[in-house]
Structure 1
Amino acid sequence: MTVFFECTYDLARHAGPGIPDANAPLRLHRLHEEDDLAALLAGAADEKERVAALTALLADRPAVEVPAEARHLVHVRPPLLPAHIGDALVSGFMMTHNVKIDADTQDQPNWFVKGLGDILRVPGEPLSVPADAVAACEEAEIVLVYVGDAQGIPRYAGHTFGNDLTDIGRFKRHAGHLSYAKLCDAGIAPWLHLGPPPRTATGEVVIERAGGQAWKGPFTTGSDAIHYDVAAMMDRLFAHRSLHRPGRVHYVYIGADRSSFHGDFRTADGDRVTIDVTSHGVRFQHRLAWAEPAAGHGGQEWGQ
């Protein structure tokens, strides 16, 4: 078992192996309340140990067969999402891919924070876009998942794929506003791959509007497509002790090559974005939902 997922079923937490077929029965294992899969994986030295530890735990947990007609009662979760949302940090790097590199490239790409664990959205859930977004676009990316060990040092647990939804129009208008541009929800696939980050991952994005295809384009990502050494990039990030906390789960989006924005397409409220990572058999979809304008703002009293 090199891929697994977590879900809730029958009011309890379960885990299952592999990427399930959409129309087939599911074989799940009911987890104990005290089972901490994040800590289990953080304590493993490499992929072989991660696979062995998880396989042994699931073999000791009761198996549950979910028939195909009951699949709608199974709700997948972001991989390793902790019980306390504040113990999950979602962040990422920008301008990492070779196709975006120019003569002014820095020796370490800019890093940003998207939010805490509650901004992660699994397939089928809508992605919220700020009401004042200038031009939002999808970004098909690899997501590295790290867990703080007993000393708080982030340890690699595996990777998945996601959609780093971004208000790229705001960033293009003012490069200093990257931090605001990234404050959109983040799509994430629930299937955690226990091996090292892929050297190459390819696929396509399809955007539907009013029931029809509005835009389609390919993407290529992975360490071979990235200008930087991914391991060194992560080592430099996690050298900062402010990111060290036992049990904290880090979801790090490591950048995209191109998006619909670069194809002169502009997304709109209600669009459905499907990311199909064909090289890895991973497919997930989200609807874009523009938020309602806020009634007030936190700084209102300062003007009184």
Structure 2
Amino acid sequence: MALRLLQHRSADGARSVIAARGDTAAFVPGVTSIRELALRAIAEGKGLADVVAECGSGAAVDLGEELTAGRLISPIDHEDPAHVLLSGTGLTHLGSAEGRDKMHREAAASDAKTDSMRMFLEGLEGGKPSHGETGQQPEWFYKGDGSQLVAPGAALTMPAFAQDGGEEPELAGIYIIGPDGTPFRLGLCLANEFSDHVTERHNYLWLAHSKLRQAALGPELLVGDLPEHVKGASRILRDGKTLWEKPFLSGEANMSHSFANLEAHHFKYDLFRRPGDVHVHFYGTATLSFSDGVRTEEGDVFEIEAAPFTLPLRNPLARADKAIVTVKAL
């Protein structure tokens, strides 16, 4: 059974790590963060699961109870949020071009191939190169630093100026950069990448603006081999009732790019290999309620679940108070 790691914060603020396999979960003695475990594994030249095993097993934990109580926090963080980079790649899944292309066709009112469709087709042709080779580069975007990550159960808050707050159910890779600049993958998390699709639909060159939003990670970090096939469900609850629901697929069998190709094109840049930094990289999705005409409202709850993760990711939608920023001359 695959190892899953979680971060816990008690009512008094004390932090700890939980290790889970199947239905069994227990605290990892003497450890306060997953990042601490990862740095230890790198320093000792061991795998993350091996280091966890060497720590032994503490008191048993009921994960569902801790999630309900709000004591499970994001499975990765840093003392300085500026050293956590959130980024992502789009048009990476076999069905991901349809919704994006529809938005851009409506804007362009043309029968010609959109830039999005051309990028998707290029990825379909060259996104899974042979081992050791670099394939077609994907679309890439920046989401912010670690201050943009919200905990499981916390509100995803769109800015006051946002035109939309929409879910993006997907997988996210969690990485840490070793002392010599080598990127290490800790594992995968369930994620809600959260974007402003109305802004993006207006003009695809506003994609960068639409992505500068918060994001949420599911509480579990899945350690080990990358999954070929992940099937889950994404839904929106309004007033306690299901407003919209749809299955979503991920994993390399459902993607036009391999994980290795997405990683190669992200970490090829020197500035993304700064020792000690943490990277959260969203791999993309093909399932959006926005593509089905859903318009979210404040108070709606996004819910995402998928095996082999055992806990759902739930986040209500909120809007920030209006803030006027004034630049002062010195």
TM-score computed with the length of structure 2 as normaliser: 0.80
The answer on whether the counterparts of 1:200 and 1:225 sit within 8 Å (CA) in structure 2 is: yes
Q: Does 29-38 or 78-87 show the bigger shift? A: 29-38
Pairwise mapping of residues 26-175 of structure 1 onto structure 2 (< 5 A)? 27-32=26-31, 36-42=36-42, 49-57=47-55, 59=56, 63-65=58-60, 71=66, 75-101=71-97, 102-105=117-120, 106=122, 107-175=136-204
Pairwise mapping of residues 227-242 of structure 1 onto structure 2 (< 5 A)? 227-242=256-271
Pairwise mapping of residues 171-182 of structure 1 onto structure 2 (< 5 A)? 171-182=200-211
The CA deviation at 1:104 is 4.4
SS at match of 2:95: helix
The answer on whether the counterparts of 2:6 and 2:220 sit within 8 Å (CA) in structure 1 is: yes
- What one-letter code is carried by the residue in structure 2 that aligns with 1:297? V
- What one-letter code is carried by the residue in structure 2 that aligns with 1:170? T
Tell me the residue number matched to 1:223: 252
Distance 1:43 1:227, change over 3 A: farther
The CA deviation at 1:218 is 1.3
The CA deviation at 1:220 is 0.9
Q: Does 105-114 or 30-39 show the bigger shift? A: 30-39
The CA deviation at 1:190 is 1.8
Cα displacement string for residues 89-127 of structure 1 (whole angstroms, at most 9, x for unaligned residues): 111111111113434434322211111112112221000
Tell me the residue number matched to 2:20: 18
Give RMSD over aligned pairs. Answer: 2.7
Higher strand residue share: 1
Question: For the residues of structure 1 that align with 2:168 and 2:61, how far apart are their CA atoms?
Answer: 33
SS at match of 1:36: helix
Question: For the residues of structure 2 that align with 1:119 and 1:29, how far apart are their CA atoms?
Answer: 27
The CA deviation at 1:282 is 3.6
The answer on whether the counterparts of 2:167 and 2:288 sit within 8 Å (CA) in structure 1 is: yes
The CA deviation at 1:65 is 4.9
SS at match of 1:165: coil
The CA deviation at 1:42 is 4.3
The CA deviation at 1:130 is 1.6
The CA deviation at 1:188 is 0.4
User: What is the aligned counterpart of 2:300 among 261, 265, 271?
Assistant: 271
Tell me the residue number matched to 2:213: 184
Asked if residue 251 in structure 1 is aligned to residue 274 in structure 2, the reply is: no
Distance 1:137 1:67, change over 3 A: closer
Question: For the residues of structure 1 that align with 2:184 and 2:65, how far apart are their CA atoms?
Answer: 36
Where does structure 2 lack aligned partners over 5 or more consecutive residues?
98-116, 123-135
TM-score computed with the length of structure 1 as normaliser: 0.86
SS at match of 2:280: strand
Question: For the residues of structure 1 that align with 2:64 and 2:294, how far apart are their CA atoms?
Answer: 38
Question: For the residues of structure 1 that align with 2:60 and 2:281, how far apart are their CA atoms?
Answer: 33
Distance 1:19 1:161, change over 3 A: farther
Percent of aligned pairs sharing the same letter: 24
The answer on whether the counterparts of 1:204 and 1:278 sit within 8 Å (CA) in structure 2 is: no
Question: For the residues of structure 2 that align with 1:126 and 1:30, how far apart are their CA atoms?
Answer: 31
SS at match of 1:191: strand
The CA deviation at 1:70 is 7.7
Cα displacement string for residues 113-162 of structure 1 (whole angstroms, at most 9, x for unaligned residues): 11111211222100011222223211111110110101132211111110
The answer on whether the counterparts of 1:38 and 1:247 sit within 8 Å (CA) in structure 2 is: no
Question: For the residues of structure 2 that align with 1:8 and 1:248, how far apart are their CA atoms?
Answer: 22
The answer on whether the counterparts of 1:160 and 1:189 sit within 8 Å (CA) in structure 2 is: yes
The answer on whether the counterparts of 1:127 and 1:187 sit within 8 Å (CA) in structure 2 is: yes
Question: For the residues of structure 2 that align with 1:80 and 1:221, how far apart are their CA atoms?
Answer: 21
Tell me the residue number matched to 2:325: 297
The CA deviation at 1:81 is 1.3
